[in-house]
């Protein structure tokens, strides 16, 4: 009995810290409609700052609590700076750009923390006076955890009082409902947004800092926290603080007791519960129906098949690529293979982001399922290269169908956050289930059949498969299927009243995109000869996203290929730098803030200007 009580209370204690961070995210979303990907990074920053301050300040309760509080306030100030400098520029932008921007921020903050506090893991002391344990029904329980049990409800109460009893709270609630009307009544929404963002950052910093005595601090914390926070806010309902509390308790208790039943797959359990909830209530436990921001205005141009000159250029490029093995040294060929596999992956993601208008933030799920599918087929089943690739495609398709079944009714940010969580859970499963996946040691010795393994043969095979897949994608986009997808993206309600089936179309396009990403994953596994959990990592999802945005969302295939090429070459160069996150994060910010049309869009505009100038010169 005592054991269950302590288990239950431990669940509540960790729910408290999670709730604090999640409340900050949901509060910011409610007012600004921005899903802040860097929110976990703010929590991490708070935790590290608290660690440093507690170490510096004189020992004793004042030093400890002062350190926690100052850390949270410093994070609030930092959040304010970020809001004013960066986020203000993307408030009007489509949600995919907002998410990408805040992800870029997350990368920058990670490097910042690395520079300030070093890469080593850190563990903080317990606060004086709460360092011991108490015995509950014969079971020991850390006093600090018992204290944390009360923090969550206390903060919930304070936030409630802030919202109901202060003018600031009333204005925040008004602006969450109708920003424009609040402004027309004299509310300076810019300052209000800054204040709310600072408050959200404070809560993140406090939530991170309070975890100091309970958890080892490490540089992967940011992603770990954000995934859990996304689960909590989606489950609780975006914008609902009581919903976040309820969901945090639910998820933490599931973990606390789930670990007794299925020690390895606690996150899977949380995802399953969420799947059930979202199928019944797509807006989450206490959320309001979310409509999404509608189609991206930057996509509002009809797609036209490329002209004959572009076709000729493409054919020449493919011819050149066929001859590449005789033109470049072996390392160049390896890099070219990487570019093609990544281009295939990015193109499959582009199908979702562009023509289908589905903001997928977890595309690595399908890439990784493909990679593990191929690796397991070789390693466990002893299959040859082509059957293994077929299995890779099948595994990824199945994963996409499963996700589609849960997410087909979800709009905008809900879809994005759930896709991220889905991939993160597969990643956690790959790390934890080491009997099957080898855990962090991965699966080694995944080589293609001997007749395919010479570098040149493998390169040509990848080239053929990639070109075929890209032709298939382009065909689909211009087929009735693609037209129907674009129609559903532009106006789902209108499409449904015309007799198109938005839900079925979404599941189908997820399956296609998943299958091709799975193929890319399978090819990746054979190219590297091994598979590690990083094929499923959030970073992989975001790399695809950056390549697509870099190339340009508009169009039917050229964008992601160009974007992928630029990205792989950039990363190949930057990965040798200790600062690669800053380089990649900075690139993301540059693209989303200054170059929203991407490389193809920018080139098209330049070409248009050039043509006009020629015409003027002639006329």
- Of 207 and 237, nearer to another protein (C-beta) is 237
Smallest gap from Cβ 175 to another protein, in A, equals 9
Nearest approach in angstroms of CB 441 to another protein is 41
Binder of another protein out of 493, 577, 606, 607 (CB under 8 A): 493
| Least gap, CB of 164 to another protein (angstroms) | 8
Using left for φ > 0, alpha for ψ between -120 and 50, and beta otherwise, residue 217 falls in beta
Residues 302-321, mask of contacts with another protein (x by CB under 8 A): xx------------------
Q: Of residues 31, 299, 351, 562, which one binds another protein by CB under 8 A? A: 299
Paired with 52 in beta bridges are none
Cβ 300 to another protein shortest distance, Å: 5
Nearer to another protein, 218 or 298 (CB): 298
Question: How far apart are the C-alpha atoms of 584 and 486, rounded to whole Å?
Answer: 30
Shortest Cβ 494–another protein spacing (Å):
4
Exposure string of 131-151, with b = 16+ CB inside 10 Å and e = fewer, is eeeeeeeebebbbbbbbbbeb
Report in angstroms the alpha-carbon separations of 465 from 170, 296, 385, 487. Answer: 58, 31, 13, 29
- The residue range among 120-128, 301-309, 331-339, 432-440 that interacts with another protein, by the rule CB under 8 A, is 301-309
Closest distance of CB 169 from another protein, Å? 9
Pick one of 483, 507, 583, 593: the residue that binds another protein (CB under 8 A): 483
Determine if 496 is a binding residue for another protein (CB under 8 A). Answer: yes
Least distance between another protein and beta carbon 180 (Å): 6
> Judged by CB under 8 A, which of 246, 495, 535, 549 binds another protein?
495
For residue 160, state whether it binds another protein (rule: CB under 8 A). Answer: no
Q: Where does residue 502 fall: left (phi above 0), alpha (psi -120 to 50 degrees), or beta otherwise? A: alpha
Question: Residue 139: phi, psi to the nearest 5?
Answer: -110, 140
CB half-sphere exposure, 141, CA atoms < 13 A: 25
Q: Does 471 bind another protein (CB under 8 A)?
A: no
Q: How far is CA 11 from CA 8, 15, 283, 296, in A?
A: 5, 6, 25, 41
Q: Does 486 bind another protein (CB under 8 A)?
A: yes
Q: Is 215 in the site for another protein (CB under 8 A)?
A: no
Regarding 292 and contact with another protein (CB under 8 A), the answer is: no
Least distance in angstroms from the C-beta of 526 to another protein: 28
DSSP string, 485-506: HHHHHH-HHHHHHTT--HHHHH
Cβ pair 452, 385 in contact under 8 A: yes
Q: Taking CB under 8 A as the rule, does residue 604 contact another protein?
A: no
Is 594 a residue that touches another protein (CB under 8 A)? no
- Is there a contact between 251 and 18 (Cβ–Cβ < 8 Å)? yes
- Smaller CB separation from another protein, 311 or 613: 311
Task: Please say which residue, 295 or 586, places its beta carbon nearer to another protein.
Answer: 295
**Site membership for another protein, residue 447 (CB under 8 A):** no
Site membership for another protein, residue 81 (CB under 8 A): no
One character per residue 504-533, x = contact with another protein (rule: CB under 8 A): xx--x-------------------------
Q: Taking the complex as a whole, how short is the minimal distance between the CB of residue 192 and another protein, in angstroms? A: 9
- Span from 116-124, 361-369, 478-486, 578-586 in contact with another protein (CB under 8 A): 478-486
In whole angstroms, give the CA distance from residue 525 to residue 443. Answer: 9
479 binds another protein (CB under 8 A): yes
The minimum distance between CB 197 and another protein, in angstroms, equals: 18
CA atoms within 13 A on the CB side of 520: 33
**Considering beta carbons, is residue 195 or 484 the nearer one to another protein?**
484
With CB under 8 A as the rule, give the number of residues binding another protein.
Answer: 48
> Do 344 and 520 form a contact (C-beta atoms < 8 A)?
yes
CB of 473 to another protein, least distance (A): 11
Q: Which of 492, 501, 431 is nearest to 293 (CA)?
A: 492
Contact between 238 and another protein per CB under 8 A: no
Contact status, residue 415 vs residue 408, Cβ threshold 8 Å:
no
The answer to whether the CB of 94 falls within 8 A of the CB of 83 is: no
Contact, 567 vs 551, CB < 8 A? no
Cβ closer to another protein: 191 or 576? 191
CB of 483 to another protein, least distance (A): 6
Beta bridge mates, 140? 135
| DSSP SS3 for 393 | helix
Beta bridge partners of 135: 140
Report how far apart the first and last C-alpha atoms of the chain are (Å, whole number): 90
Binding residues for another protein restricted to 171-190, rule: CB under 8 A: 171, 173-174, 177-178, 180-189
Task: Compute how many other C-beta atoms are within 10 angstroms of the C-beta atom of residue 603.
Answer: 14
Cα–Cα distance measured from residue 12 to residue 18, given in angstroms and rounded to the nearest whole number: 10
Would you count residue 487 as binding another protein (CB under 8 A)? yes
Nearer to another protein, 301 or 605 (CB): 301
- CA dist., res. 89 & res. 477, Å (int): 32
Q: Give the x/- contact pattern for another protein in 91-120, rule: CB under 8 A.
A: ------------------------------
Contact 557, 350 (CB under 8 A): yes
Q: What angle, rounded to 10 degrees, do the helices at 2-32 and 221-236 form?
A: 80
Which residue stretch of 16-24, 167-175, 461-469, 523-531 sits at the interface with another protein (rule: CB under 8 A)? 167-175
Per CB under 8 A, 490 contacts another protein = yes
Angular region, 552: left φ>0, alpha ψ -120 to 50, beta rest: left
Cβ pair 145, 214 in contact under 8 A: yes
Per CB under 8 A, residues contacting another protein are 167, 170-171, 173-174, 177-178, 180-189, 295, 299-303, 475-476, 478-481, 483-484, 486-487, 489-491, 493-501, 504-505, 508
């Amino acid at each position: 009995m005592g054991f269950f009580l302590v288990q239950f209370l431990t669940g509540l204690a960790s729910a408290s810290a999670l709730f604090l961070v999640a409340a900050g995210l949901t509060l910011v979303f409610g007012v600004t409609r921005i899903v802040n990907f860097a929110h976990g990074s703010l929590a991490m920053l708070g935790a590290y700052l608290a660690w440093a301050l507690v170490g510096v300040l004189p020992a004793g309760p004042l030093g400890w609590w002062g350190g926690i509080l100052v850390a949270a306030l410093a994070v609030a100030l930092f959040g304010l700076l970020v809001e004013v400098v960066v986020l203000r520029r993307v408030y009007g932008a489509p949600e995919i750009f907002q998410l990408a921007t805040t992800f870029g921020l997350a990368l920058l903050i990670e490097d910042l923390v690395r520079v300030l506090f070093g890469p080593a893991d850190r563990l903080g002391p317990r606060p004086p006076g709460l360092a011991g344990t108490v015995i509950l029904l014969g079971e020991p329980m850390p006093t600090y955890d018992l204290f944390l049990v009360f923090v969550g409800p206390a903060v919930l109460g304070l936030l409630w009082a802030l919202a109901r009893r202060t003018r600031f709270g009333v204005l925040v609630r008004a602006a969450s409902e109708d920003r424009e009307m609040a402004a027309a009544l004299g509310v300076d929404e810019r300052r209000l947004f800054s204040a709310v963002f600072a408050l959200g950052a404070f809560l993140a910093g406090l939530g991170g800092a309070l975890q100091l005595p309970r958890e080892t601090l490490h540089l992967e914390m940011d992603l770990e926290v954000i995934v859990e926070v996304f689960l909590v806010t989606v489950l609780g309902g975006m914008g609902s603080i009581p919903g976040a509390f309820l969901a945090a308790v639910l998820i933490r208790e599931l973990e606390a007791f789930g670990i007794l039943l299925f020690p390895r797959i606690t996150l899977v359990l949380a995802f399953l519960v969420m799947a059930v909830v979202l199928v019944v209530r797509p807006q989450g436990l206490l959320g309001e129906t979310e409509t999404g921001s509608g189609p991206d205005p930057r996509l509002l141009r009809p797609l036209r098949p490329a002209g004959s000159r572009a076709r000729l250029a493409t054919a020449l490029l493919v011819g050149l690529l066929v001859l590449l093995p005789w033109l470049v040294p072996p390392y160049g060929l390896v890099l070219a293979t990487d570019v093609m596999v990544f281009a295939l992956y990015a193109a499959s993601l582009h199908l979702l982001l562009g023509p289908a208008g589905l903001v997928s933030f977890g595309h690595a799920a399908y890439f990784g399922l493909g990679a593990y599918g191929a690796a397991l087929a070789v390693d466990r089943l002893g299959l040859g290269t082509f059957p293994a690739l077929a299995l890779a495609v099948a595994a990824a398709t199945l994963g996409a169908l499963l996700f589609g079944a849960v997410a087909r009714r979800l709009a905008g940010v809900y879809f994005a956050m759930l896709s991220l969580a889905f991939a993160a859970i597969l990643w956690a499963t790959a790390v934890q289930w080491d009997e099957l996946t080898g855990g962090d040691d991965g699966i080694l010795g995944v080589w293609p059949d001997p007749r395919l393994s010479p570098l040149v043969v493998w390169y040509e095979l990848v080239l053929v498969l990639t070109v075929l897949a890209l032709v298939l994608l382009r065909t689909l986009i211009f087929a009735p299927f693609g037209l129907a997808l674009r129609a559903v993206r532009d106006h789902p309600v209108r499409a449904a009243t015309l007799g198109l089936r938005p839900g079925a179309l979404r599941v189908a396009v997820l399956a296609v995109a998943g299958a091709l990403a799975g193929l890319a994953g399978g090819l990746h596994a054979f190219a590297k000869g091994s598979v590690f959990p990083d094929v499923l990592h959030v970073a992989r999802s975001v790399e695809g996203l950056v390549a697509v945005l870099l190339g340009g969302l508009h169009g039917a295939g050229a964008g992601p290929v160009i974007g992928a090429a630029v990205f792989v070459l950039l990363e190949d160069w930057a990965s040798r730098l200790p600062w690669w996150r800053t380089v990649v994060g900075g690139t993301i910010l540059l693209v989303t803030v200054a170059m929203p049309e991407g490389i193809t869009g920018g080139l098209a505009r330049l070409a248009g200007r050039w043509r006009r100038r020629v015409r003027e010169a002639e006329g």
